[in-house]
Structure 1
Amino acid sequence: MTDFEIIFVERQREIQKHLEFIKELQWSVINRSGGKPIDMEHVNILKSAFLVHLYNVIESVMSKTIEEIDGKAKKHPPSEWASEFFQSWLLHRAILVFDNEPSKRIEKIVKVIGEASGRELVSSARVAKRSSGNWSNKEISDLAAKLTCDLRISPDIDRKACIVFLIDNKVPMTYVRHMRNQLAHGNLSFVDAAAHLTVDQLELLCSTVLDYMNEVVSSFVSYIEGKKYLKVTA
């Protein structure tokens, strides 16, 4: 079992626990008789936190996927990598070089040439940065394309997660990212951000995102197990 499969299983269990707690707390608010003062603001804060938590499932899985592919690929010299993987790696390294100060660029270019030619050990086989706050279905598809990973998403799941608007004229995968960023950057308050969402909507959002991510995980597992980052040998 890959590390990102394990992370996905763990994160699914956590997010389901979060959803159960929201349900129980909301029921307590509606049906309470005495006891500690709990009101809908407590529930709404948890709903907003749930959106951040759900996004964390996406980002943690994708970050671990990039890390695991990096670990597998750099055990092999670039001469053994599939052409598309090598080109994506080279482009990513070139972008990183130009992120450096001009005085350091020549040194970095020489290092990349040394690694590409096999004269130096590959320090990183990443083809993308660990992207904080920027994962939606588009970024996942783009990563799969860079790696030539066959992203197998069933039509029904793709339609529900990536095509049909669910909330605020956004598809589920985009909506979760948008809300996470709005909350993380302080543009929305945790009291108000998800106040309009029902528990049923949260459940539907959660199941749709998890169904999509389950197929994403399966696709990248097949990619790694098939060593698709390497050249096809006769």
Structure 2
Amino acid sequence: MKIILDYLKEREEEFSRHYSIARMLEERVDRATDEGETQVEVRHINTLKSGLLIHLYNIVEAVMTRVLQEVGRNVVNQAPGKWKANVLKEWIRSEIWSGEGNISDRVLTRLTDVGVILVSGESLPEFVVKGEPGSWDDEAIKKVANRLGCGLELPPKIRRAAYERAYRNDTSAFKYLASRRNDIAHGVITFEDGVRDLTLEELHRLSERIFPYLEAVVKCFSSYLHRGDYLSEAEAVDAE
């Protein structure tokens, strides 16, 4: 997971640079310009803020995609007969679910029972754990972690900042981010209007709720793989 943590750090620094440029341009709003120069207006800053918000969401999606790829890459180092039942269920989900619609737990359970019989004990090719339908937010991250049996043991300050319902419509930072990103990306609201209700400083504080949580989640998945929490209890004991 170190590669993913390094990737997250690079994207965080990249976001910070883009934010600094937006702040620099904001200081030029309505400032008198020489003939032929473009005057920076509030609407330009609003457009930049929407770009920053979409950038922030894209980082969330990219990091979580990489985490789930890494989980699938590591899990298959052990024969499927050694996996916990819920991890085998995730492998089956990845094999049969296209990412559209939902699969009932009853169907998954039946397929898992068949899978237990069919597994040969040989290692399987890499697979990518499926995320939840829809956008990545704190609820989706928790659901995927729970499905895999990965406990999200987060520092209280980070957990509180991520889960606090401090945004419009009583939403958390992640839900606000995902909702606004979707509205902008799907044309429900324009780039100019997308984040009009947040100042640049508030947008930066939003990122300060997002980045520490992502880092903590990556570390939780790293511990999950390192401890072999995806293995059955008997296999986990033998590995100690």
Answer yes or no: same fold by TM over 0.5. Answer: yes
Cα distance, 1:31–1:81 mapped onto 2, change above 3 Å: same
Q: Encode CA deviations 1:61-112: one digit per residue, 9 max, x unaligned.
A: 000001111111122220122333123333554545x98xxxxxxxxx8xx8
Matched pairs, number = 222
What residue is the counterpart of 1:211 in the other structure? 212
Residue identity opposite 1:200 in structure 2: E
CA–CA separation in structure 2 for the residues paired with 1:85 and 1:154: 26
What residue is the counterpart of 2:12 in the other structure? 12
Residue identity opposite 1:48 in structure 2: S
CA–CA separation in structure 2 for the residues paired with 1:119 and 1:215: 34
Matches within 5 A, 1:168-187: 168-187=169-188
Contact 2:15 2:56 in 1 (8 A): yes
How much identity, in percent, do the aligned residues show?
26
Cα distance, 1:225–1:196 mapped onto 2, change above 3 Å: same
Q: Encode CA deviations 1:90-143: one digit per residue, 9 max, x unaligned.
A: 3554545x98xxxxxxxxx8xx849951277524443414x6861001110011
SS in 1 for 2:90: helix
CA–CA separation in structure 2 for the residues paired with 1:173 and 1:145: 18
Contact 2:93 2:130 in 1 (8 A): no
SS in 1 for 2:191: coil
What residue is the counterpart of 1:39 in the other structure? 41
Could you tell which deviates more after superposition, 86-95 or 66-75? 86-95
Deviation at 1:222, TM superposition (A): 1.2
Matches within 5 A, 1:105-184: 113=115, 116-118=118-120, 122-129=124-131, 134-184=135-185
What residue is the counterpart of 1:90 in the other structure? 92
1:232 is the counterpart of 2:236: yes
What residue is the counterpart of 1:103 in the other structure? none
Contact 2:151 2:220 in 1 (8 A): yes
Deviation at 1:36, TM superposition (A): 2.7
CA–CA separation in structure 1 for the residues paired with 2:217 and 2:80: 26
Gaps of 5+ in 1: 100-108
CA–CA separation in structure 1 for the residues paired with 2:8 and 2:41: 32
What residue is the counterpart of 1:27 in the other structure? 27
Contact 2:94 2:127 in 1 (8 A): no
What residue is the counterpart of 1:70 in the other structure? 72
Contact 1:15 1:54 in 2 (8 A): yes
Deviation at 1:181, TM superposition (A): 0.7
Could you tell which deviates more after superposition, 53-62 or 190-199? 190-199
Cα distance, 1:232–1:220 mapped onto 2, change above 3 Å: same
Contact 1:133 1:180 in 2 (8 A): no
Contact 1:133 1:177 in 2 (8 A): no
- Aligned-pair RMSD on alpha carbons? 2.8
